[in-house]
Amino acid sequence: MAFFQTPPELGNQFLDDWVLRTYLERTLPAEVRAEIEPELLEMGELAGGDLFRLSLADRLSEPRLVQWDPWGNRIDRIELTPLWKRAARIAAERGLVATAYERRHGEWSRIHQQALVYLFEPSTEVYTCPLAMTDGAAKTLTVHRNQALLDRALPRLTSRDADRMWTSGQWMTERTGGSDVAISETLARRSPEGFRLHGTKWFTSATTSQMALALARPEGNPPGGAGLALFSIWSSGTRAEP
């Protein structure tokens, strides 16, 4: 008798996750839970249904770096997979970053957001990585309170409009090591246009993002963590702002 392997299947990731559901029951007020559960059910169905099937169909696709155009011009464009592009739109429209900053449920908004992200993650080629970097950038700018940067970036980072939303990278890791950022070697030198960063980042997360936060040491600053500064980099590549 011939044997055929049964293909993997996922059900509704919210209904199937007893641990998540009981955690929310213990943690959230009943009225908050009742309001957000329809969203979680929809996300659970999406993750275990359409997105999962797309991830299987797309499993051999990989992003591709296109360095040159047909006429020999250097373009360095990253071509993304169909699933990655769809995940980006869903993440914006479903508020996977925005939910935490809209504060619709006050102190419970973070739990609402994290539950959505948790359900979204399994079938989206780790698109939660740029989401985590984006959330981190939004939080950093909020705490930093540089109003010019807030006005410029926060509405984009927390937008529900997929055509308007930005993601953000974090450029920290160097060849000297990723865990001890105090030994970062990248230098920031002033120029007429602002700061220019000189150095090498061995790993740059979310390289297709419209902005990034990068660590560098302003020229003349002391060694160690206390001498580092955090810079915002914009997609034009022309300016670094502390």
The DSSP line for 4-67 is -PPPP----TTTT-HHHHHHHHHHS-HHHHHHHHHHHHHHHHHHHTHHHHHHHHTTT---EEEE
Tokens of 88: 């980006």
Confidence of residue 239 (pLDDT cuts 50, 70, 90): very low
DSSP three-state, residue 218: strand
Q: Give the residue among 160, 83, 181, 64 at the shortest CA–CA distance from 116.
A: 160
The CA-atom distances, in angstroms, between 143 and each of 113, 137, 150 are: 19, 10, 10
Mean pLDDT of 25-32: 97
| Pairing of the two strands 211-218 and 187-191 | parallel
Model pTM score: 0.89
What would the pLDDT profile of 59-110 be if each residue is shown by its tens digit?
888 899 999 999 999 998 999 999 999 999 999 999 999 999 999 999 999 9
**How many alpha carbons fall within 13 Å on the CB side of residue 167?**
24
Cβ atoms of residues 196 and 207 within 8 Å: no
Mean pLDDT of 226-241: 74
The secondary element (H helix, E strand) that includes residue 197 is strand 194-198
- State yes or no: pLDDT of 131 exceeds 90: yes
Q: Give the residue among 54, 173, 76 at the shortest CA–CA distance from 125.
A: 54
Give φ, ψ of 101 to 5 degrees.
-100, -20
Cβ atoms of residues 221 and 227 within 8 Å: yes
What would the pLDDT profile of 33-60 be if each residue is shown by its tens digit?
999 999 999 999 999 999 999 999 888 8
Cβ atoms of residues 11 and 48 within 8 Å: yes
Handedness of CA 122, 126, 230, 195 (dihedral sign): negative
DSSP state of 74: E
Cα–Cα distance, 143 to 72 (Å, whole number): 44
> What is the set of domains in the chain, with CATH numbers?
7-126 (no CATH), 128-242 (2.40.110.20)
Confidence of residue 138 (pLDDT cuts 50, 70, 90): very high
